[in-house]
């Protein structure tokens, strides 16, 4: 355990000494001197009273901060009982780190002044004995004990002492500086917390150091700088659980320093496990009806209709394969999430849509799948595998599995009621919790198939198979193709142009193929869709009606302090529900006029591409998916979070509530 040997040595030394004399362990020459500035006269700063301890150290020797690091001991001070001193607090200047043979210590060298804030019971002429204990180290460590007699004079004779050296030190004491602020605290587990830190200075990582002290906790820290004025600080206790004692965090940056004090939230996440699993089930069920799933919802219906005429054995197999595709994809997503968390990479729901490589790959997969629906080719399993599972139809089994997988991947850009809460809970907890929540989501998302598997007669509510399905299949192919092009639009222009060329080239070849003359009508439709999407991407977004400002946490905090009404929209191009909210509500003429007439400040956070700042912002509210909309105002500066599906009434009502 840290410091145990040196602390035991330190405590085992008899510090009692003769008045005014120093006691030095091991009968060694004292490599330090201690003075008390102010004998009967008191320093005053911010209407508080101080005395000051000055320690001068010989070359190479050092003494310690309140958290000495891997070894050492902090300065201690005691006074005789029944003295006129009611209480005191030792204030520590900004320390430095020292490294020796793999041991890290935190402290001071040469000369250090410790202001001591005191509160007196009464003012009268009285001498008080102060016993001061401290440790000094070089190759060896020596505990020092000094007893000083201090005369406190009566109130009328006390003068506010002016001392240039003290004034310079007290003004730099970190607890009196306000360069760093803790804007939010989140309990990640019983032994870990996350702090969102903002600062009024521009952070340079190489010049930033953070010192942490807590009486009953030892912490490992991780710093994630999100912006020049924003960082996340992760504190993980070496104990099984973070105690309730306060935590002192000192930030040092170049010549500036600032100290903040926090109290850990008394919050245990374990009791919420069953509740969150239930929320995940509900979220998975609701996800079936979210706008982002509409492109594949029709595919799910089509697959059910197409297999309804099969014998019961094959019907059950196809249903099970579809469910397997859903579970498989959720399992893959949870494995990737765990892997990224292991690498200390923050992720959110739908994070894969922020990857250019994923967008390109998934666009191609959807394009190929749409061509399959148009009937250009069939996806067939290997004959050996087909024989093992006794498949007589060409690709129904593979399509069933693939449709389940496809539905999950297209659903992940969307957040839904209950889903955001459960996913946020999972991402704040251990790996087992992540798997449990994602499996619960898969179960909820698969519920319609489980119902049909248990009660096959439910399929009778769908239309009977017939020739109409050939045309319906081509309509579905068009929907999937549109989805593929929609994903392409999220890419940068150059990537979009290149991929369009790669997709168009085989279509041109197919168009002039004599074997595909009958499909030229479908191919012509594809060309029209391609170029309509391509032309739309050339439109300058700046020309479109847009009164939104780019989101920035500093700007948000400034507007909140100014008592403005603020509407924040966290959105992304790959989030279909976000686009529905924008089209149906946020860009609605009635809402736009309401925003203007009520002087609502509009901030848009675009999460299309990865943004640690935006992820950090929504995670402050235990949200890890979008859409995310929140309203702030003079009467509610913490903000009111809106439901994932916006309505005009909900937006207007929330603004009225915060005004």
**Is 85 in contact with 42 (CB distance < 8 Å)?**
no
Query: Mind spelling out the 3-state secondary structure of 256-299?
Result: EEEEEEECCCCCCCHHHHHHHHHHHHHHHHHHCCCHHHHHHHHH
3-state SS class at 621: coil
Mean pLDDT, the chain, as a whole number? 74
pLDDT in tens, 174-225: 888 888 888 777 777 767 888 888 888 888 888 888 898 887 677 888 888 8
pLDDT band at 391 (very low <50, low <70, confident <90, very high): very low
Q: pTM surpassing 0.75?
A: no
Burial pattern 368-393, b for ≥16 Cβ within 10 A else e, equals ebbbbbbebeeeebeeeebeeeebee
**Better-scored residue on pLDDT, 302 or 192:** 192
Length of the chain: 659
- Give the ranges where 288-382 is alpha helix by DSSP (H): 294-307, 312-342, 356-374
pLDDT band at 521 (very low <50, low <70, confident <90, very high): low
Q: Which residues contact 518 (CB under 8 A, 6 or more apart)?
A: none
Neighbour-count burial of 435, counting CB atoms closer than 10 A to its CB (0-12 exposed, 13-18 middle, 19+ buried): middle
pLDDT band at 544 (very low <50, low <70, confident <90, very high): very low
Least confident range from 25-39, 86-100, 370-384, 473-487: namely 370-384
Domains in the chain and their CATH numbers?
A: 32-173 (2.60.40.1250), 177-262 (2.60.40.10), 270-364+391-467 (no CATH), 548-658 (3.40.30.10)
Q: What pLDDT, on the 0 to 100 scale, is given for residue 617?
A: 86
Q: What pLDDT, on the 0 to 100 scale, is given for residue 174?
A: 86
3-state SS class at 136: strand
Flag whether pLDDT at 129 surpasses 90. no
**Better-scored residue on pLDDT, 18 or 349:** 349
Q: What pLDDT, on the 0 to 100 scale, is given for residue 431?
A: 80
Flag whether pLDDT at 239 surpasses 90. no
Q: What pLDDT, on the 0 to 100 scale, is given for residue 139?
A: 81
pLDDT in tens, 491-516: 654 555 555 555 554 555 455 544 44
**Is 373 in contact with 479 (CB distance < 8 Å)?**
no
Q: What are phi and psi of 307, to 5 degrees?
A: -100, 0
Flag whether pLDDT at 651 surpasses 90. yes
Question: Can you point out the beta strands (E) in 110-191?
Answer: 111-120, 126-137, 141-152, 160-161, 180-189
């Amino acid at each position: 355990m840290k410091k145990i040997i040196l602390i035991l040595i330190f405590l085992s030394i008899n510090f009692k000494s003769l008045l005014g004399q120093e006691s030095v362990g091991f009968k060694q020459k004292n490599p330090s001197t201690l003075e008390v500035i102010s004998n009967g006269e008191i320093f005053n700063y911010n209407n508080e009273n101080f005395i000051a301890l000055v320690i001068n150290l010989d070359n190479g020797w050092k003494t310690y901060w309140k958290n000495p690091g891997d070894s050492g001991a902090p300065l201690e001070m005691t006074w005789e009982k029944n003295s006129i001193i009611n209480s005191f607090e030792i204030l520590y200047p900004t320390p430095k780190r020292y490294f020796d043979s793999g041991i890290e210590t935190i402290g001071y060298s040469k000369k250090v002044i410790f202001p001591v804030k005191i509160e007196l019971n009464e003012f009268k002429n009285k001498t008080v004995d102060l016993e001061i204990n401290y440790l000094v180290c070089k190759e060896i460590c020596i505990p020092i004990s000094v007893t000083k007699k201090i005369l406190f004079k009566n109130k009328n004779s006390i003068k506010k002492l002016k001392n240039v050296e003290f004034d310079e030190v007290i003004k730099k004491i970190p607890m009196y500086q306000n360069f760093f602020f803790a804007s939010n605290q989140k309990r990640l587990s019983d032994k870990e917390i996350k702090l969102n830190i903002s600062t009024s200075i521009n952070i340079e990582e190489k010049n930033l150091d953070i010192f942490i002290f807590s009486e009953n906790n030892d912490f490992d820290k991780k710093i994630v700088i999100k912006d020049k004025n924003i960082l996340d600080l992760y504190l993980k206790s070496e104990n099984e659980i973070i105690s309730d004692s306060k935590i002192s965090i000192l930030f040092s940056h170049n010549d500036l320093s600032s100290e903040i004090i926090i109290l850990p939230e008394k919050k245990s996440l374990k009791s919420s496990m069953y509740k969150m699993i239930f929320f995940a089930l509900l979220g998975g069920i609701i996800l079936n009806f979210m706008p982002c799933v509409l492109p594949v919802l029709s595919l799910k219906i089509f697959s059910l209709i197409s297999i309804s005429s099969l014998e019961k054995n094959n019907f059950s197999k196809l249903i099970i394969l579809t469910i397997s595709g859903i579970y498989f994809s959720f399992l893959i997503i949870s494995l990737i999430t765990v892997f990224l968390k292991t690498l200390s990479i923050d992720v959110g729901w739908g994070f894969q849509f922020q990857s250019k490589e994923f967008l390109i790959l998934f666009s191609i997969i959807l394009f190929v799948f749409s061509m399959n629906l148009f009937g250009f080719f069939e996806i067939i399993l290997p004959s050996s595998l087909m024989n093992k599972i006794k498949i007589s139809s060409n690709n129904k089994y593979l399509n069933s599995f693939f449709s389940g997988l496809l539905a999950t991947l297209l659903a992940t850009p969307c957040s839904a009621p209950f889903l955001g809460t459960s996913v946020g809970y999972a991402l704040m907890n251990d790996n087992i919790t992540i798997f449990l929540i994602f499996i619960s989501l898969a179960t909820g998302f698969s519920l319609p198939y489980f119902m049909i598997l248990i009660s096959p007669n439910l399929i009778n509510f769908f239309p009977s198979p017939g020739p109409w399905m050939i045309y319906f299949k081509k309509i579905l192919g068009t929907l999937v193709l549109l989805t593929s092009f929609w994903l392409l639009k999220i890419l940068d222009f150059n990537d979009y142009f290149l991929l369009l060329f790669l997709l168009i080239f085989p279509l041109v070849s197919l168009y002039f193929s004599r074997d595909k003359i009958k499909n030229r009508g479908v191919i012509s439709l594809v060309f029209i869709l391609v170029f309509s999407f391509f032309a739309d991407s050339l439109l300058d977004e700046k020309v479109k009606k847009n009164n939104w400002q780019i989101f920035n946490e500093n700007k948000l905090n400034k507007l909140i302090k100014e008592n403005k009404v603020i509407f924040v929209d966290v959105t992304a191009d790959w989030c279909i529900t976000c686009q529905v909210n924008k089209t149906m509500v946020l860009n609605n003429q009635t809402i736009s006029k309401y925003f203007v007439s009520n002087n609502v400040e509009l901030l848009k956070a675009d999460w299309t591409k990865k943004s640690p700042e935006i992820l950090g912002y929504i995670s402050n509210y235990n949200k890890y998916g979008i859409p995310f909309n929140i309203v702030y105002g003079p009467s509610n500066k913490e903000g009111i979070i809106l439901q994932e599906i916006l309505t005009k009434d909900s937006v207007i009502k929330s603004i009225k509530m915060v005004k």
